[in-house]
Amino acid sequence: MNHRSAYRVPKSEVLKAALDLFSRKGYSDAKMADIARKVGMSVGALYLRFSNKEELFMELIRDQSKDFIEHTRSLPLHEPLNALKTYIAINIDHALHKRQILSIIYREYNLLSLKDLRHEFFKTQHGIIRDILRAGVKNKAFKAMDINDTASMIFASIRGTIMLKLIFGIGDAKSMGNSLFKLITNGIRKDAS
């Protein structure tokens, strides 16, 4: 039956090369031939592994998104302040670790499937932040507030900080996390109301 079964170059290696090219050049400007060349194989062999470019791309996204959510499980909700600090740190860490895939997801935003992915991501993260805020308000650690709006703003601030790093190339991961945490928790007013 099966005479051979393994590809000379495994999918994972192709995806690695594709990640680099897509993130540096964008979807349209990353050529199938580039990807093939980068891993030292022919275009034809590429098409044995993936039926077309779009599928290769989506497989890459799927592969890289796998552990996207798992990181934020098991935050210490009984210590809301701590949970928030950890949440911010995890987010920034993770983003910088997966900066390549993120830069693609931010950019290629006419690809319909990415739109769904992003929305899904927002919903999940918004939920997590809401839980932290709700716990904090109950706890009297946080003031009364509009939890939905505040969660959106916190989400936006974190993503903005990541963008500052990714797109503008500005800032340092650790100190950025701290500054952001301080800003969100304490604000800048001397006599906060």
Partner DNA sequence: CGTTCATATGAACCATCGTTCAGCATATAG
Partner DNA sequence: CTATATGCTGAACGATGGTTCATATGAACG
Interaction site with DNA (CB under 7 A): 1-9, 29-33, 41-45, 47-48, 51-54
Q: Which two tokens stand for residue 71?
A: 């990181």
Q: Given the complex with a second copy, which of 74 and 175 has the nearer CB atom?
A: 175
CB atoms near residue 53 (< 10 Å): 17
Q: Specify whether the CB–CB gap between 161 and 92 falls below 8 A.
A: yes
DSSP for residue 173 = H
DSSP-derived letter for residue 40 is: T
As measured in angstroms, the least distance from the Cβ of 70 to a second copy is: 22
Min dist CB 50 to DNA, Å, is 8
Q: Which is nearer to DNA, 29 or 172 (CB)?
A: 29
The answer to whether residues 180 and 160 touch, using CB atoms and an 8 Å cutoff, is no
Give yes or no for residue 127 binding a second copy (CB under 8 A).
Answer: no
51 makes contact with a second copy (CB under 8 A) = no
**Which token pair is 38?**
């980068």
Q: Which is nearer to a second copy, 13 or 108 (CB)?
A: 108
Two tokens, residue 61 = 């996204």
Minimum CB separation from a second copy for residue 134, in Å?
12
Extract the tokens encoding 138.
Answer: 């109950």
Structure-block tokens of residue 48: 């044995």
Nearer to DNA, 53 or 98 (CB): 53
- State both tokens at 103: 């830069």
Q: Which is nearer to DNA, 45 or 77 (CB)?
A: 45
Structure tokens at 23: 């993130």
- Least spacing, CB of residue 86 vs a second copy, in Å: 15
Q: CA 80, CA 87: separation in Å to the nearest integer? A: 10
Contacting residue, 89, 96, 153, 173, with a second copy by CB under 8 A? 153
> Closest separation between CB of residue 148 and a second copy, Å?
9
Residue 11 burial class via C-beta count within 10 angstroms: exposed 0-12, middle 13-18, buried 19 and up:
middle
Residues that bind a second copy (CB under 8 A): 24-26, 28-29, 81, 103, 106-107, 109-110, 118-119, 122, 133, 136, 140-143, 145-146, 149-150, 152-161, 163-164, 167-168, 170-171, 175-176, 179-180, 183-190, 192-193
